Amino acid sequence: MAMLAKNYRNVHGRKDLTRCLFQFFPDDMTTSDILFLCIGSDKATGDCLGPLLGTYLKEAGYQNVIGTLDAPCHGLNLQGIVNSLPANKQVIAIDACLGQEHNLGNYELRVGPMRAGEGTGNNFPPVGHYSIHGFVNVHTTNVKLNRDNLQTTSFGFVRKMTKDLQIALMARFPLELK
């Protein structure tokens, strides 16, 4: 399966995101080829994009999901999860992130792994064949302020971003009929 080399930055809104997902992932990649790794915690509203997305995907019938509100993938268990990922799946790592003010509400699609927790001073292992970042709040040079920004992010804002991402991913990777 060939990887596409083009990354997408500042993807905004459901329509733009859906279009970019179709261009970003290889045409022959199907739902059975992938695993959604939804990283984050519900203990900070800004960090719940991943587990909220995982919950929405599971509720829609997707089985290839790790990281939900009930069973999150976060800093305490990320290393163990990374070590147990199936080798036969293309991992799409998804996480909230902090960025510049003009990026808020946007997404970034990257070929290759992400490092979850960078903005809050954590040093987690790189994970994913592909990564999707959702910019939920502003990044600063102050790690404590970054943590505060994640704590005080509007849940409604994160929920809207998550729903847009869910709908776009489900359009690109529809459930396969059995």
Per-residue pLDDT of the chain (178 residues; tens, 9 = 90+): 444 457 888 888 889 999 999 999 999 999 999 999 999 999 999 999 999 999 999 999 999 999 999 999 998 899 999 999 999 999 999 999 999 999 999 999 999 999 887 767 777 889 999 999 999 999 988 888 888 888 999 999 999 999 999 999 999 999 976 5
The rounded distance, in Å, linking the Cα atoms of 7 and 130 is 10
Q: What is the pTM of this model?
A: 0.92
pLDDT at 143: 85
Q: Which residues contact 123 (CB under 8 A, 6 or more apart)?
A: 115, 117
| For the chain, domain boundaries | 8-171
pLDDT at 178: 59
The kind and range of the H/E element at 19 are helix 13-24
Fold of 8-171: Rossmann fold (3.40.50)
pLDDT at 147: 87
pLDDT at 171: 97
The rounded distance, in Å, linking the Cα atoms of 73 and 159 is 18
Q: Is 72 helix (H, G, I), strand (E, B) or coil?
A: coil
CA triplet 102, 12, 147: central angle to 5 degrees? Answer: 50
The rounded distance, in Å, linking the Cα atoms of 112 and 46 is 23
State both tokens at 98: 């902090």
The rounded distance, in Å, linking the Cα atoms of 57 and 166 is 7
State both tokens at 94: 């998804």
